[in-house]
Amino acid sequence: MWNPLNLFKNESQSVVGIDIGSSAIKVVQIRKKGGKVILETYGALALGPYANVPVGKATNLPIAKLVVALNDIMKEAKVTTKRGGVAIPFRASLMSVIEMPDVPDKQLATMVPLEARKYIPVPISEVSLDWSIIPKDQIKSEHTPEDDESVKSIPKLSKKEVLVVAIHNDTIAEYQNIVKQAGLNANFFEIEIFSTMRSVLDQNPEPVMILDIGAATTKLYIVERGGIRLSHTINRGSQDITSTISTSLGVSIEQAEVMKRSIGYNQTATDGKDVVSLVALTLDFIFSEARRVMFTYQQKYGKNVSRIYLVGGGAAMKGVTEIAKANLQTEVVAGDPFAKVEAPAFLTDILKVNGPEFAVALGIALRRLQGGE
């Protein structure tokens, strides 16, 4: 899938965001003009054929083949710049929220790596570690234990929550190798969730969930005031839906993939009843896990998720937003990253449909455009 626009000539200001997923590579090229972000081109390329497996299947390609595929999609989508950024999959990182004493940042900088050792299963010297303080609530609840006279005299140590992120040095070296072999000027990497947050979220301070339905896995993140409070991976994804359709209906993986994309959970589809019920088998499991994560968050923080954003290739299936609303009893919307860019009006509808799949690629491009290094 690709859609070159190529209406703009000043490529020196253009940047490209690259999302190397398990089943496809996505690229988005944008530039800034007159204070607006302009979409120049975007495209996606399935990785299955490079691994001799069907389209839609997760792959584990060696670096050499990933570079070939990356160069192919850059050429096919008519990407005109080498300046950009690359997202690192969530599976290649370790992310934890830890509680630390409320001390000055300088002191915290020496304490966090020591505390992080408890959560990282490899030596600290083998990972690149980053951390950020999660903002505290600005509004107290109507009644808290501190309001009780009986506990006011008990001294309490002030705490702060810190998000700790670690990426193995070998992973970073692999992506640096891909960038070098592809001839890209991409001098920073970012874990995919941060790119997604940048492209689909607004400034709403209320807790929201991002539900990223990928090929092999589904990732869940609960975000509050710009900070990640909970993250969880479900070992189910859109390829499981394809496999279920293929096995149950006795059709090839390729036919099942077409049926999944054309029918999905569209209850009104002609002769699509069997497909709808098979799609529901995987989605029901995913949404059951999402409900459990939401309940865990509610129990820990006393707050409810106000909205759920669907992203990833699986989020583009017909009817998935409606079934998510019914299962999760919460407002659910499809992620619309392209709403943050200017594009020709005739592309509006197709960009809304394809948007969830390009949330990561656009988010990483936005960071580079904003001067992120």
CA 227, CA 229: separation in Å to the nearest integer?
A: 6
State residue 202's pLDDT score. Answer: 87
Give the rounded distance of the alpha carbon of 208 from its chain centre: 14
How many helices (H) and strands (E) are present in the chain, helices listed first? Answer: 11, 14
> Could you tell me the pTM of the whole model?
0.88
Q: What is the mean pLDDT of residues 104-118?
A: 91
CB neighbour class for 96 (10 Å; exposed up to 12, middle 13-18, buried from 19): middle
Looking at per-residue pLDDT, the higher value among 5 and 343 belongs to 343
CA 260, CA 242: separation in Å to the nearest integer?
A: 7
> Which residues is 164 bridged to in the sheet?
96, 131
State residue 147's pLDDT score. Answer: 47
CA 253, CA 53: separation in Å to the nearest integer?
A: 10
Banded model confidence at residue 6, pLDDT cuts 50, 70, 90: very low
State residue 34's pLDDT score. Answer: 85
Q: What is the mean pLDDT of residues 197-210?
A: 92
- Across the chain, what does the average pLDDT equal? 88
List the strands of the sheet with 93-101, edge to edge. 93-101, 159-168, 127-133
Q: What is the mean pLDDT of residues 277-289?
A: 94
Model confidence pLDDT, tens digit, residues 81-92: 999 999 999 999
Share above pLDDT 70 across residues of the chain, in percent, rounded to a whole number: 89
Looking at per-residue pLDDT, the higher value among 247 and 135 belongs to 247
State residue 121's pLDDT score. Answer: 87
State residue 265's pLDDT score. Answer: 83
State residue 142's pLDDT score. Answer: 39
**Looking at the predicted structure, is the pLDDT value of residue 1 above 90?**
no
Model confidence pLDDT, tens digit, residues 248-276: 999 999 999 989 988 888 766 556 668 88
DSSP 83: B
CA 210, CA 333: separation in Å to the nearest integer?
A: 10
The class (CATH top level) of 94-165 is alpha beta
State residue 10's pLDDT score. Answer: 44
- 25 touches 42 (CB < 8 A): no
CA 276, CA 229: separation in Å to the nearest integer?
A: 33
Q: What is the mean pLDDT of residues 89-104?
A: 91
CA 197, CA 223: separation in Å to the nearest integer?
A: 9
Name the pairing type of β-strands 208-213 and 307-311: parallel
State residue 92's pLDDT score. Answer: 92
Domain chopping of the chain, boundaries: 1-83+336-373, 94-165, 201-335
CATH of domain 201-335: 3.30.420.40
Tell me whether the CATH fold assigned to 1-83+336-373 matches the one assigned to 201-335: yes
Model confidence pLDDT, tens digit, residues 140-189: 443 444 445 544 444 455 788 899 999 999 999 999 999 999 999 997 89
The class (CATH top level) of 1-83+336-373 is alpha beta
User: In terms of DSSP H, where are the helices of the chain?
Assistant: 63-76, 105-116, 149-152, 169-182, 192-200, 238-249, 253-262, 273-301, 320-328, 348-354, 359-369
> Which of these ranges, 48-57, 208-217, 265-274, has the smallest mean pLDDT?
265-274
Model confidence pLDDT, tens digit, residues 284-309: 999 999 999 999 999 999 999 999 99
Tally of residues, the chain: 373
Q: What is the mean pLDDT of residues 94-109?
A: 91
Looking at per-residue pLDDT, the higher value among 140 and 318 belongs to 318
Q: What is the mean pLDDT of residues 16-31?
A: 96
**Looking at the predicted structure, is the pLDDT value of residue 47 above 80?**
yes
> Which of these ranges, 134-143, 191-200, 203-212, has the smallest mean pLDDT?
134-143
Q: What is the mean pLDDT of residues 72-101?
A: 94
